[in-house]
Amino acid sequence: MGFYQQISKYYDDIFPLSPAAEAFFLKRFAEGNAKRVLDAACGSGSYVRAFIDRGYDAYGIDLDPAMVNIARSKTSHERIVQGDMLKASELFSQGFDFILCIGNSLVHLQDENTILQALQSFHSLLNRGGMLALQIINYDRILGQGLEGLPTIESPEAGLTFERKYRYDEKSGLIHFDTVLKVPEGKYKNSITLYPLKASSLVSLLVRAGFSNTKLYGDFKESQWSPESYATIATASV
């Protein structure tokens, strides 16, 4: 069973919708006069649902069937597509005014060439004047400080803890993301590999994919990005 299939039942308790993130996106939707929105790697569909409730024509795409089923239960079968974000441009017949890819999803792709393919796919799907928003962990911080993990997520209401550890493999250049989910029913252990994409490389890839006006933030409150920021958030336009 895959990582996200294992945790899909608990996903919304581990990663609840962030009011700060929602406000960050909605501000840019209004600035860009966005109508059609795509959440790439939409997970459980919480953001798609939130954007629909705000009056946007929102859609989602995710690779994991368990996540897709949960997202469809919040929205509809037609609004959530099961598929690879690398092929997003092949799966939608209409363009979008805004595309977001958050939750560290982009770095599940294993090298910069593959990440570039995803960015090119997003670029081809965006209408003229459209915007892309990305959010990943700040790997400049992770690698620069030799961090071995992120703070444990705790949800007393759901009775769970989610431990997150990192192991950097110098030979492959990848990070092993080891997790332990503890819930009343038991314990789930997993490990997946992530590509530690640095901010400068992300900006370079966005330019190569055809984007302009790239901006970096350290969080969804629009703090200035620095090597010590917890997150790397980028916006770019077509």
Helix (H) or strand (E) holding 163: strand 160-169
Distance from CA of residue 60 to its chain's centroid?
A: 12
pLDDT value at residue 153: 95
Q: Which domain holds residue 39?
A: 3-138+196-237
Q: 157 and 103, same structural domain?
A: no
Q: 177 and 147, same structural domain?
A: yes
Q: 74 and 27, same structural domain?
A: yes
Q: 202 and 153, same structural domain?
A: no
Tell me: pLDDT of 133 over 90.
Answer: yes
pTM comes to 0.94
Alpha carbon distance 117, 112 (integer Å): 9
Alpha carbon distance 65, 80 (integer Å): 11
Provide mean pLDDT across the span 38-51.
96
Q: 164 and 72, same structural domain?
A: no
Tell me: pLDDT of 62 over 60.
Answer: yes
Alpha carbon distance 202, 195 (integer Å): 12
Structural domain ending residue among the three candidates 175, 194, 213: 194
Provide mean pLDDT across the span 23-40.
91
Q: 153 and 212, same structural domain?
A: no
Q: 102 and 30, same structural domain?
A: yes
Residue 163's Cβ-count burial label (10 Å; 0-12, 13-18, 19+) is middle
Tell me: pLDDT of 3 over 70.
Answer: no
pLDDT value at residue 31: 81
pLDDT per residue as tens digits for the range 103-128: 999 999 999 999 999 999 999 999 99
Q: 102 and 49, same structural domain?
A: yes
**153 neighbors 55 (Cβ within 8 angstroms):** no
Would strands 96-101 and 126-137 be described as parallel, antiparallel, or unpaired? Answer: parallel
Question: How far is residue 74 from each of residues 16, 71, 103, measured CA to CA in Å?
Answer: 14, 5, 19
Least confident of 16-20, 173-177, 222-226: 16-20
**28 neighbors 56 (Cβ within 8 angstroms):** no
Alpha carbon distance 120, 179 (integer Å): 31
**Comparing 3 with 160, which gets the higher pLDDT?**
160
Alpha helix stretches (DSSP H) within the chain: 3-7, 11-14, 19-32, 46-53, 65-74, 88-91, 112-125, 139-144, 199-208
Quickly state the pLDDT bin for 186 (edges 50, 70, 90): confident
Q: 7 and 86, same structural domain?
A: yes
Q: 145 and 131, same structural domain?
A: no
Q: 78 and 129, same structural domain?
A: yes
Q: 173 and 77, same structural domain?
A: no
pLDDT per residue as tens digits for the range 200-233: 999 999 999 999 999 999 999 999 999 999 999 9
Tell me: pLDDT of 96 over 90.
Answer: yes
pLDDT value at residue 2: 61
* Number of domains present in the structure of the chain: 2
Q: What is the CATH number of the domain that holds 231?
A: 3.40.50.150
